[in-house]
Structure 1
Amino acid sequence: MSRIFVFNWISVDGIFSGPNGETDWFTSDPELEAANLSALHIADTLLFGRVTFKMMEAFWPTPGAAAAYPEVAAYMNETAKHSFSTTVNSSHWPHSSFHNVLNRDTVRAIKETAKKDIVVLGSGSVSMALQELQLIDEYILLLDPQLLGRGKPFFKDVDPTALQLLEARTFPSGIVRLHYKTVHENRVKPR
């Protein structure tokens, strides 16, 4: 069965987007971009919240995205996309589906259609809802060498959960990509 993994940039102080959802602070380099694209290709299904879906929808189907990032744009446009929202229920972006609720039944139905793994990009609210349901199998966190000081924390009010480090890789930009497996049977007990 498909695994669900979260793929997200976070600052050293745990922020994943600016106060107004800004992501223009992400650091990158060509080696990191190639590694990220390789990691994404293990998934054929994307999960988004409304805000991230609208942001991605505004960029990836455009000629500018295809010119600047041809491989990523092709992947984003051809991959199945599921957005969780009570207000957005249609899109011109191909392969987009919409769900009013995020629960075990909805996720189970999505898993039945996936042929590969499922990835959550950005979408802090979706990530936290899946974490609360104990449905996240792995985290790939791009630890950006910055202290942002303000913005939206990625891990907020989460249940204690044990993680097993699968890989740590440093890139020329200073990003450290941390790949963790969730250890469901060995949950950390609250203090």
Structure 2
Amino acid sequence: MGRIVSNFFISMDGVVERPDQWHFGYFDDEMGEVVGSGMASTRAILMGRTLYDEWSQYWPDQGDEDFGGVINPMPKYVLAHEPFEARWQNTTVLSGVDDAAVAEQVRALKERTADGEVTMSGSATTVRWLIAQGLLDELALLVHPVAVATGQRLFEGTGTVPLELTESRALASGVLLVRYAPVYS
């Protein structure tokens, strides 16, 4: 069965919102290698509706250079409360009458991607939902040595979420790569 891995740039105080405001000063070749290796096993992208709306307005017009060449042809799956017509190439909308129906579609997606990972990025709300449904396999966090103080945090209003550390290392920039697996009871 495939795995769902969520990747985040995150501040020391847990903020994941607007990394464009605080992340780029820490991005270097070493971090690029970490991000690139994470994409190497990616077979599909999973995202929430808000991220889809943002990315589908930008990436299709960027051509095949850099990340556009990766994201545009790749299969994309969007979790949405209501069905909608997706116009970005290779996009499938996963929606249903309730959480259980959508979760079943995500489980089927994991089964179809048995040879790789479904990468999920950019939405703390979607990560929280995936964890609540027992569907997230790994959180891959690049923890930046900065306190942002304002913005959405990864775990807001979730209660306790037990995690098991599976990898950690410090990058030369002071950013920490930490990987956690949610512990489902």
Please state how far the C-alpha of 1:66 moved relative to its aligned partner: 4.2
Task: Name the TM-score, length of structure 2 as normaliser.
Answer: 0.84
User: Is the contact made by 1:89 and 1:99 (CA closer than 8 Å) also made in structure 2?
Assistant: no
The letter of the residue matching 1:158 is T
Distance 2:86 2:6 in 1: 23
User: Is the contact made by 2:2 and 2:112 (CA closer than 8 Å) also made in structure 1?
Assistant: no
Give the 3-state SS of the residue equivalent to 2:70 in structure 1: helix
User: Is the contact made by 1:49 and 1:83 (CA closer than 8 Å) also made in structure 2?
Assistant: yes
The letter of the residue matching 2:175 is I
User: Is the contact made by 2:76 and 2:91 (CA closer than 8 Å) also made in structure 1?
Assistant: yes
Partner of 2:61: 62
Partner of 1:97: 92
**Structure 1: segments with no counterpart, 5+ residues:** 186-191
Partner of 2:14: 14
Partner of 1:26: 23
Partner of 2:153: 153
Q: How does 1:130-141 map to 2 (within 5 A)?
A: 130-141=130-141
Please state how far the C-alpha of 1:147 moved relative to its aligned partner: 0.9
CA RMSD of aligned residues (A): 2.1
- Output one character per residue of 1:156-182: Cα deviation in whole Å (capped at 9) or x when no partner: 222433322222122233221111122
Give the 3-state SS of the residue equivalent to 2:60 in structure 1: coil
Please state how far the C-alpha of 1:58 moved relative to its aligned partner: 2.6
Give the 3-state SS of the residue equivalent to 1:94 in structure 2: coil
Question: Percent sequence identity over matched residues?
Answer: 24
Please state how far the C-alpha of 1:111 moved relative to its aligned partner: 1.9
Please state how far the C-alpha of 1:148 moved relative to its aligned partner: 1.0
Distance 1:2 1:145, change over 3 A: same
